[in-house]
Amino acid sequence: MESSEQVHPLAPASGRYTGSDDQEAAAVPKTNRRRCIKCCGTITVLLLIQAIVIVILIFTVFKVKDPVIRMNGVTIDRLELINGTTTPRPGSNITLTADVSVKNSNFASFNYQNTTTTLFYRGVVIGEARGPSGKAKARRTMRMNVTVDVITDRILSQPDLNSDYSSGLLTIGSYTSVGGRVKMIFVKKHVTVRMNCSMTVNVTSQAIQNQRCKRKVKL
The domain that contains 144 carries what CATH number? 2.60.40
Q: Which residues are bridge partners to 209 per DSSP?
A: 200
Shared domain for 103 and 79, answered yes or no, is: yes
Final residue of a structural domain among 9, 27, 60 = 60
Q: Which residue has the higher pLDDT, 204 or 20?
A: 204
Q: From residue 8, how far is each of 5, 11, 12, 13, 130 by CA, in Å?
A: 9, 9, 12, 15, 111
pLDDT in tens, 11-65: 555 555 455 555 555 555 667 777 888 888 888 888 888 878 766 766 665 677 7
Selection from 189, 93, 172 nearest residue 125 by Cα? 172
Does residue 6 sit within a domain?
no
118/205 same-domain check: yes
Name the more confident of 157 and 66: 157
- pLDDT tens digits, one per residue of 176-190: 888 888 876 666 778
**Digit-coded pLDDT (tens) for 70-95:** 777 777 777 676 676 656 677 677 78
Taking the CB of residue 208, how many other CB atoms lie within 10 A of it? 20
Claim to verify: residue 118 and residue 29 sit in the same structural domain: no
pTM: 0.60
Does the residue 91 lie in any domain?
yes
Does residue 179 share a domain with residue 96? Answer: yes
Number of folded domains in the chain?
2
Whether 172 is covered by a domain: the verdict is: yes
The reported pLDDT for the residue numbered 161 is 80
Answer yes or no: do 198 and 131 share one domain: yes
Assess whether pLDDT exceeds 80 at residue 217: no
- CA–CA distance from 124 to each of 4, 19, 106, 150, 197 (Å)? 135, 102, 36, 11, 14
CB 158 within 8 A of CB 143: no
Give residues with Cβ within 8 angstroms of 4, minimum separation 6: none
| Secondary element (H or E) of residue 20 | helix 19-59
Distance CA 46, CA 49 (A): 5
Residues 34 and 113 placed together within one structural domain of the fold: no
104 and 208 housed in the same domain: yes
Q: Are residues 94 and 179 in the same domain?
A: yes
- pLDDT of 105 above 60: yes
Residue that terminates a domain, selected from 60, 78, 112: 60
How far apart are the C-alpha atoms of 102 and 72, rounded to whole Å?
10
Residue 101 sits in the same domain as residue 207: yes
SS3 (DSSP) at 180: strand
Q: With respect to residue 4, please indicate whether it lies within any of the assigned structural domains.
A: no
In percent, how much of the chain has pLDDT > 70?
A: 74
Query: Position 3: which residue type?
Result: S
SS3 167: helix
Question: Are residues 214 and 189 part of one domain?
Answer: yes
What integer pLDDT is reported at residue 187 of this predicted model? Answer: 67
Show the domain range for 36. 17-60
- Position 81 scores a pLDDT of 67
Query: Does 1 have pLDDT greater than 50?
Result: no
